Amino acid sequence: MPSFDTVCEANMVDVKHAVENTAKEIGTRFDFKGTPAAVELKDKEITLIGDADFQLTQIEDILRNKLTKRNVDVRFLDKGDVQKMGGDKVKQVIKVRDGIETELGKKIQRLVKDSKLKVQAAIQDGKLRVSGAKRDDLQGAMALIRKEIADIPLSFDNFRD
């Protein structure tokens, strides 16, 4: 039976390289000299450190540019709140989305079910498997998901015929 998986996964190698390039640019820029401005990646969290909110905004802008150059969709980034650190430093944690949350999975599952296409959708640990009898129905389901869920960077893989 033909099927495909709907996933929400960033290429972590490209994210890592973008963070490293951002750190390198912060080290060479004149307006960041003598400040605690830094960016680091741990697991799937990017931490921005700076003097003030304005500096965090500048670092985030550099990071977004580097991610865009590496073809990583910036919709993968989930910004957290700005937190005060010791002294006059502030930090912000940005999480890189990985996997489809259960609420979104249920929403997509309901969308596919209500579409009257002859396909079934099943949630499987961070992925949504859509299966059906005909390839055309699956392609219609892909088009429907792309159209209706535009705020999250979904991709389709593991297409089996």
Asked which of 68, 96, 124 is the last residue of a domain, the reply is: 96
Shared-domain flag, residues 22 and 84: yes
Contacts 24+ apart (CB under 8 A), 72-75: 72/10, 72/11, 72/14, 72/15, 72/18, 73/10, 73/153, 75/151, 75/152, 75/153
- Checking if the pLDDT of 40 tops 90, the result is yes
Residues 25 and 68 in one domain: yes
Which residues, other chains included, contact 127 with Cβ-Cβ below 8 Å and sequence gap of 6+?
Answer: 5, 6, 7, 99, 100
pLDDT of residue 60: 94
Residues 46 and 119 in one domain: no
Confidence (pTM): 0.83
Residues 51 and 65 in one domain: yes
Please indicate, yes or no, whether residues 34 and 75 belong to a single structural domain of this protein: yes
Which residue range(s) make up the domain with 17? 12-96
Q: What pLDDT, on a 0 to 100 scale, did the predictor assign at position 150?
A: 85
Query: What CATH code is carried by the domain that includes residue 83?
Result: 3.30.70.990
pLDDT at residue 125 in the model? 82
One domain for residues 90 and 26? yes
Number of domains in the chain: 2
At 83 the pLDDT is: 92
Phi, psi of 19, rounded to the nearest 5 degrees: -65, -40
Same domain? For 61 and 116 the reply is no
Write out pLDDT tens, residues 111-148: 988 888 899 988 888 889 999 988 888 999 999 999 99
Final residue of a domain: which of 41, 61, 96?
Answer: 96
**CATH code for the domain of 136:** 3.30.70.860
Same domain membership, residue 83 and residue 108: no
Residue 16 pLDDT > 90: yes
Percentage of the chain with pLDDT > 90?
A: 46
